[in-house]
Amino acid sequence: MEITLKLLLGFCFGFLSAASLLLNIIALFTVFRLAFVLRKNNVYIIAFFNILSDVLQMTMATFYLAPSIVTSSFLISTVKKSTWTMVFGSSFMFLWYFETITQVVMALNRYVIICQQKHKIFTFTTTILLFTFLIPFCFVLMYNSQYLNPCCSFVFDQEYLSYSYYPIEGIPNYSDKFDLPLNASSSIISAICYIMIFWTVHNSTPTFSSVAGEHQKAKRNRDIRYAIQFSLLLVFYVFVWVLFRVLPILLANRHVEWFILVPTFYTINCTSNAIIYLGFNSEVQNNIFPEKLFSVLHFIGLAKKETPKFSMSMISVTNQSRTSVGPVAHVAIRFIPERKHQPFRSIGMVHENQQHMT
């Protein structure tokens, strides 16, 4: 087999998409556990569907687009546009529309929670119902774009080491009138929401003095972290669809090897979800492995078991009870997990002081 630039680019792209697929699968199972098993936060439901879309996209990139570039063939067809190539192209478009609208859903979720302080809008039930409606809606968009529209169908195109619209001579590309406004409006709406979020956070000067205030502060900081993570995802998303539109204008039919940048950056876009959640989200990091699997890893020596920690205030109470000369009242000492708020943990000391006063 002759080693060509296209062959090398195909292998590199295949390796990149396979690595992205692996990271997304790890993130998918972890986020699923947080969203549907532990129900930590309803924002993880949005993240789950977004990462699920990335897993499906990377599966097609790893097992279809990369091999077709390496072999310089369409694998399942001898021509660019056929029934099976349309199936892959239609799957891509469905997932692309799904991710486009999900960007707006994520931004609106953060805006409603942080700026409007309305936590009851995006509940577990309403978020599930939203995606239950979103899936068939995106399917309708895809079907209209791929099958009802006279031009032009979206396909995986190994000739350009990328994706392309299959043109029909004399018929304008419908995507310029629908896909481009949809991508632009999604990006603009999401960007406005994140600007409003950061503006609200910048101008707010909350005072947290009470115990309840500290809890609200921690919750607010967590919501802000989610907003920052989602805004980073928006940056990758905008860069990909702009590159897909601009690169063909700049290159035309010259230096087709540069078109590999489109699926490469799209792969980076799909990987950014997993990288951000696995690398910067502490809740995801703490729940990558289920407890049973963690026990197995600890048994074979691949993981260390953390020793439980007690609250310092309760230890001091215990020491006082041991060194006290007079009669000691009963003090209810409880095990307090690390970094968890226990508002009534000093109740034992209050009870003891009252008895001494009497």
The CATH number that applies at residue 228 is: 1.20.1070.10
Between CA 146 and CA 155, with CA 175 as vertex, the angle to 5 degrees is 45
Residue 300 lies in a domain: no
- Whether the CB-CB separation of 188 and 102 falls below 8 Å is answered with no
Residue 143 lies in a domain: yes
Residue owning tokens 């949809």: 182
Q: What is the domain count for the chain? A: 2
Residue 32 lies in a domain: yes
Share in percent of the chain as helix, strand, coil (round to 5): 70, 5, 25
CB atoms within 10 A of CB 305: 10
Residue 241 lies in a domain: yes
Q: Is 173 exposed, middle or buried (0-12, 13-18, 19+ CB in 10 A)?
A: middle
Residue 11 shares a structural domain with residue 92 = yes
**pTM, to two decimals:** 0.76
In the DSSP assignment, the letter for residue 304 is P
Check residues 166 and 24 and name the one with the higher pLDDT: 24
Residue 320 lies in a domain: yes
Residue 316 shares a structural domain with residue 280 = no
Residue 80 shares a structural domain with residue 164 = yes
Residue 260 shares a structural domain with residue 192 = yes
191 vs 342: CA distance, rounded Å = 39
Residue owning tokens 């049973």: 292
Residue 165 shares a structural domain with residue 228 = yes
21 vs 237: CA distance, rounded Å = 17
Residue 263 shares a structural domain with residue 334 = no
**Range of 229's domain?**
5-289
Residue 301 lies in a domain: no
Residue 232 lies in a domain: yes
Residue 263 shares a structural domain with residue 115 = yes
pLDDT per residue over 254-298, tens digit each? 788 899 999 998 999 899 889 888 888 888 888 886 665 556 555
- Whether the CB-CB separation of 240 and 269 falls below 8 Å is answered with yes
Q: What is the mean pLDDT of residues 220-231?
A: 73
114 vs 183: CA distance, rounded Å = 25
Residue 275 shares a structural domain with residue 328 = no
Residue 242 shares a structural domain with residue 349 = no
CB atoms within 10 A of CB 327: 7
Residue 75 shares a structural domain with residue 194 = yes
Residue 216 shares a structural domain with residue 318 = no
- Whether the CB-CB separation of 223 and 110 falls below 8 Å is answered with yes
CB atoms within 10 A of CB 219: 13
Nearest to 227 by CA among 279, 276, 286, 287: 276
pLDDT per residue over 150-201, tens digit each? 788 899 999 999 998 888 888 888 777 888 899 999 999 999 988 888 888 7
154 vs 87: CA distance, rounded Å = 10
Residue 109 shares a structural domain with residue 242 = yes
Residue 297 lies in a domain: no
- Whether the CB-CB separation of 31 and 257 falls below 8 Å is answered with no
- Give the model's pLDDT for residue 291: 60
- Whether the CB-CB separation of 116 and 107 falls below 8 Å is answered with no
Residue 314 clears pLDDT 50, i.e. is over it: no
